[in-house]
Every structure is written in structure tokens, then in C-alpha cells.
A and B are shown apart, each in its own frame.
Chain A
């Protein structure tokens, strides 16, 4: 069967559109076509989560192992509870691990960094399972608090120095 030139070009046009959409989804949006990335959920209570958001990355030593799936507030203690989805292939994380909220760069996004703890069956530690809580957590560094602390401390230091000078004189 013979096709007109216009028909071939239109076919090419449609193909080009489909290819461009796929490239956009894979390369630009970073979509992963891997269905085997099922997650298990663990929870972590923090004092202050700073500006952590849902879908923020969770890393061990800089390697992405999962994402924050939900952030809720504990009704009794009024402390934030972060639900973390970790990929199933990272199943050997000790229950003694520490989760802390860190910032990528000075103005970068906040993410959760997990520092692996020791694993020893005789000591009663286990691997993290679905529904577990990470007990050892470190809150976010809030820059404003840090600065106000620093300013406050340095003012106190100055006062002390002034007092010392007054005493010596």
C-alpha cells in the first residue's frame, strides 16, 4: 500500500510526540519503571521537623533508600511523627539506627539521614520491620534558633568579660 507524503509525515509527527513524552517522563521527571520497588514503613518521632516535606528523600550515607510518605502529629504528645517508606531491598537496617533531619547545602532541601546502628542478636537488637519506630532521632537544625543561640551566648560572653575586667580592676 502506498501512503501519501503528508500521511507519513503525520505518522512521524505523532511518533515524535510519543517519544518526546517518554523522554520527558524518564529523563526529566526521573520516572522509574521498576515495579519491584515495594516499600515497608517505619516511623520516627521528632521534636521539630523544621521544613521537612512529604516526598523528601531518606538516605543512608548519601544513598537514597526511600522517601517520607506522611507527616502527622501525635495526638497525645503533640510531637511530629514522620512515616518513612524504605525500599524492600534495604531490609537489614538495625533497629538501633539513628534518624536525623539534615539540610542539603545552606538553602537546600531537608532530608532524613539514617545512621546505621550495630546489629547483634544476643543484645536483642533486630532489623527494622514494617510498622517499627526508630527510637533514636535527631531534630532538624533550625537556622534561626541556632543564630539566636549564638547571638545570646556571645552577648553573655561579653557580659562575663566585662565583669571579669571590672573585678580585675
Chain B
């Protein structure tokens, strides 16, 4: 019995201390003002790896999700003689939920796991220690640019996803199934609002970007420096960020809509 309680307590303390370490890491990463000249090229390179290279997967999945929504929505709305509302159905569901959430999930799988593996590998091959020996803070040099790159890239990718998804819905609804283009866009414009839909979407995707990159970076930075440790950290990144994104999405939706 004591053993059970003890092991439970140890587990809890372990989790708590890792939460503490990750918070410390976060503050050391964010609240530093390194010279812009030195960090900016690093940031650009990271935005290239994290953002630019994710464009293809984001655009393709956005297009298909928009097309599926257009097809399903059209077939269901046809029963109610309300195909005119297809535009608002597609745009609202993409902008409010699917856009930020699916983008963040893809981002966690595509970029988050890569970040964890990369930093874990740097740690396993003792390159982080080597940097510290040279008086280079790995948090500033390695972690901070990746963190900001994720925070900047994810909102942009979400916006692209939404736009492509809406045009995917148009492709099916208007060009294939013969809905009028004007009706599609006017029903969209009458239901989507800048302050009530687009700004919450941006807030959502920025917070998802924060959760995704933070979890990925911390898991990499905190992993056991072995190949097994790296693989575990990568798995943990994907699982934790997916759960974090979906849970936070519910909270944010309840707060904002």
C-alpha cells in the first residue's frame, strides 16, 4: 500500500518538476533580448524549416477538407432546399474550428516531432554541452529561434489553410455542383465577421503555436540523451501536443464564441 502511494507520489513529483523545468526554460527562452543581428538569420532559417516546408501539406489538406465539406454540406443542405447557405457553412466551420485545429495537428506531426528529434539529437551527441563550454547559451542559440519561428509560422499556415479550404469548398459547390458563385460568397460575407470570427481564429492559432512549439522544444531539451530517449520524446511530443491542442480548442471556443 505504502509502495503504491509512494510510487504515485514520486510520479506526481516527477511530472511537477518537469513542468517547473519547462516553465524555467520558457522564461529563459522568451525573456531575453539577444542582439537582433545575430538571431535574425537563425530565425529566418527556422521559419524556412518549420513554416515554408509545411506549406505543401497544409495546402493539400486544406484543399481536400474544404472540398469534402463542400460536398457533404451540399448534399445535406439540398434536402432542406438551403444550398444557398453552403458558403457560410463551409467558411464558418473552417474558420472557427477546422482551420486552426487541423493546421496545428498537422504542424505538431510535421514540425513539432522534427524539432524534438533535432534537439534530442543535439543533446545526445553532446553538442548542447559543447555550446555551453564555448559560453554560448543553447537556449538562446537553439531554442529561442525555433520557438519564435513556430509562433510566427503557425498563424500564417492557419490563414493559408482557411483560404485554401474555402476555395476548395467553392471548387466543389460552385464549379462542380453548379451553385451560383455570388450566392456562395454573399452568404459567406453575411455570416463571417472580422471581429467575431477571424480575430478569434488568429488568437486560437497563436495559442496553438505556443503550445505546439513549447511542448516540442521542451521534450527535446529534456529527453534522455539516448536513441531510445529521443524516440520516446518524439512520441510524447505528438501525443501531448495533439491532446493539448484539442483540449485548449474547447476552452478557447467556450470562451470566445
Interface residues of A (CB under 8 A from B): 6-7, 9-10, 12-14, 16-17, 20-21, 23-25, 27-31, 57, 105, 107, 109
Residue among A10, A20, A25 with the most chain B CB within 10 A? A10
B133 at interface (Cβ–Cβ under 8 A)? no
B68 at interface (Cβ–Cβ under 8 A)? no
Do A28 and B91 form a contact, CB below 8 Å, given A6-B45, A13-B52, A20-B163? Answer: yes
Q: Report whether A13 and B194 are in contact in the complex, using a CB–CB cutoff of 8 Å.
A: no
B192 at interface (Cβ–Cβ under 8 A)? yes
B197 at interface (Cβ–Cβ under 8 A)? yes
Which listed residue (B80, B153, B156, B198) contacts A29, Cβ 8 A? Answer: B198
Assembled-state Cα–Cα distance A9/B153 (Å): 13
Chain A positions within 8 Å of B162 at CB level:
20, 24, 28
Chain B positions within 8 Å of A30 at CB level:
188-190, 192
B81 to chain A, nearest CB (A): 9
Chain A positions within 8 Å of B160 at CB level:
16-17, 20
Q: Report whether B48 and A17 are in contact in the complex, using a CB–CB cutoff of 8 Å.
A: no
Q: Report whether B192 and A13 are in contact in the complex, using a CB–CB cutoff of 8 Å.
A: no
B171 to chain A, nearest CB (A): 15
A41 to chain B, nearest CB (A): 21
Interface residues of B (CB under 8 A from A): 44-45, 47-48, 51-52, 55, 80, 82, 91, 95, 153, 155-156, 159-160, 162-163, 166, 185, 188-190, 192-194, 197-198
Assembled-state Cα–Cα distance A128/B88 (Å): 34
Assembled-state Cα–Cα distance A23/B159 (Å): 10
Do A17 and B47 form a contact, CB below 8 Å, given A25-B198, A28-B91, A30-B192? Answer: no
Q: Report whether A25 and B163 are in contact in the complex, using a CB–CB cutoff of 8 Å.
A: no
Assembled-state Cα–Cα distance A13/B192 (Å): 25
Assembled-state Cα–Cα distance A28/B153 (Å): 22
Which A residue's beta carbon lies closest to that of B41? Answer: A7
Which listed residue (B44, B82, B192) contacts A10, Cβ 8 A? Answer: B44
Q: Report whether B194 and A29 are in contact in the complex, using a CB–CB cutoff of 8 Å.
A: yes
Q: Contacts A28-B163, A29-B197 given; 16 further ones with Cβ under 8 A? A: A6-B45, A6-B52, A10-B47, A13-B51, A13-B55, A14-B47, A16-B156, A17-B155, A20-B159, A20-B163, A21-B159, A28-B185, A28-B188, A29-B194, A30-B189, A57-B190
Chain A positions within 8 Å of B55 at CB level:
13, 16
Chain A positions within 8 Å of B188 at CB level:
28, 30
Q: Report whether B159 and A28 are in contact in the complex, using a CB–CB cutoff of 8 Å.
A: no
Which listed residue (A7, A14, A27, A28) contacts B156, Cβ 8 A? Answer: A14
Chain A positions within 8 Å of B185 at CB level:
27-28
> 10 A–B contact pairs at CB < 8 A?
A9-B48, A16-B156, A17-B159, A20-B162, A24-B159, A24-B163, A25-B194, A28-B192, A29-B194, A30-B190
Q: Report whether A23 and B163 are in contact in the complex, using a CB–CB cutoff of 8 Å.
A: yes
B39 to chain A, nearest CB (A): 14
Which listed residue (B48, B82, B95, B197) contacts A6, Cβ 8 A? Answer: B48
Assembled-state Cα–Cα distance A50/B91 (Å): 27
Chain A positions within 8 Å of B190 at CB level:
30, 57, 109
Chain B positions within 8 Å of A107 at CB level:
80, 82
Q: Report whether A17 and B95 are in contact in the complex, using a CB–CB cutoff of 8 Å.
A: no
Do A13 and B156 form a contact, CB below 8 Å, given A6-B44, A27-B185, A30-B189? Answer: yes
Chain A positions within 8 Å of B82 at CB level:
105, 107
Assembled-state Cα–Cα distance A7/B49 (Å): 11
B91 to chain A, nearest CB (A): 6
Q: Report whether A31 and B51 are in contact in the complex, using a CB–CB cutoff of 8 Å.
A: no
